[in-house]
Copies of this chain bind each other. A is one copy, B any other.
Amino acid sequence: MAANRASQPRSSVWLTPRPPTRGRRGADSGSGAGSLDREKIVATAVRLLDAEGTAQCSMRRLAAELGVTPMSLYWYVNNKDDLMELALDAVAGEIALPDLEAGNDWRDDLRALAASWRHTMIGHPWAIRCYGEYLNIGPQSMRFSRCAQAVVARSPLPEEEHSTALSAVFQYVYGFTSMESRWQEYGRESGRSPDEFFEEVAGSVAQAPGIKATGGMIERHSGLTMQQMRDLDFDRTLDWLLAGMCVGRRS
């Protein structure tokens, strides 16, 4: 994505953070709407990514949006990769966490975490792809991780399987949500609805003999909307996974 030479290490905001004062004037100084700081840049980047997708979010375009010269952004962020890491962490901050004190079953808490992660990512379709591109170890991502760990810690699984269980759930949800949000973007790009575009592809694929499904998507039509089918797939698979981990154990 960025023009990294293969030989030079990719930087990460989180590994070599900027001094926290950088771009932060005193609390009283934010005089005009025009004054720049890191939060404002990141917020604008998120808005731009949401509205027009990854392809349209360039440093130059973002600067124009902020009424400023491209190079002024580099005072606040080291480079575009860092900015994307910050944007990803910003949306990670929107993920709703279950109340761990409520005494719910750990499986339900884990299901809730999976669902709210998916929900947040679907709201920012560019974001899920960042997980495959950037380190995501910012404070908001860590808040989410800590919560997820606390949840499996209440499971009956032996301790050495805790991280396997976490990975299993979130790698699945990552895969599911990647595909789901990709179909959304296909829809937008093609000017059709996501489901219309899917129908078109499915139709084109169905001409080949013996084909019933495309890359993880489905073509059953039992009176359900595609959204309902996706939700059903999501829930059912999580049930399978959670049931599988608990086979032969007292829950």
- Spell out A's residues near B (CB within 8 Å): 1-10, 14-15, 52-56, 128-129, 131-133, 135-137, 139, 141-142, 145-146, 149, 160-164, 166-168, 170-176, 178-179, 182, 186, 188-191, 200-201, 204-205, 208, 210-220, 222, 232-233, 236-237, 239-245, 247
B236 engages A164 (CB within 8 Å): yes
17 contacts between A and B (CB under 8 A): A1-B55, A6-B55, A6-B188, A10-B189, A129-B132, A131-B179, A132-B179, A135-B201, A142-B208, A160-B222, A167-B233, A167-B237, A168-B241, A171-B179, A237-B241, A243-B243, A244-B244
Contact partner, A201, options B137, B139, B200, B212, Cβ 8 Å: B137
Closest CB-CB distance, A110 to chain B, in whole Å?
Answer: 13
Which single member of B172, B179, B191 contacts A7 (CB below 8 Å)? Answer: B191
Instruction: Report yes or no: A217 in contact with B178, Cβ–Cβ below 8 A.
Output: no
* A149 and B2 contacting across the interface, CB-CB below 8 Å: no
CB-CB < 8 A to A166: which residues of B?
Answer: 213, 216
Given contacts A146-B211, A167-B218, A240-B244, 12 further A-B contacts (CB under 8 A): A1-B1, A6-B189, A10-B190, A131-B179, A161-B236, A163-B233, A168-B172, A171-B172, A174-B179, A175-B178, A241-B241, A244-B247
Q: Which residues of B contact A128 (CB under 8 A)?
A: 132
Q: Give bound CA distance, A216 to B217, whole Å.
A: 24
Chain B residues with Cβ under 8 A from A14's Cβ? 204
Closest chain B residue, CB of each to CB of A172: B172
Q: Shortest Cβ distance from A89 into chain B, in angstroms?
A: 12
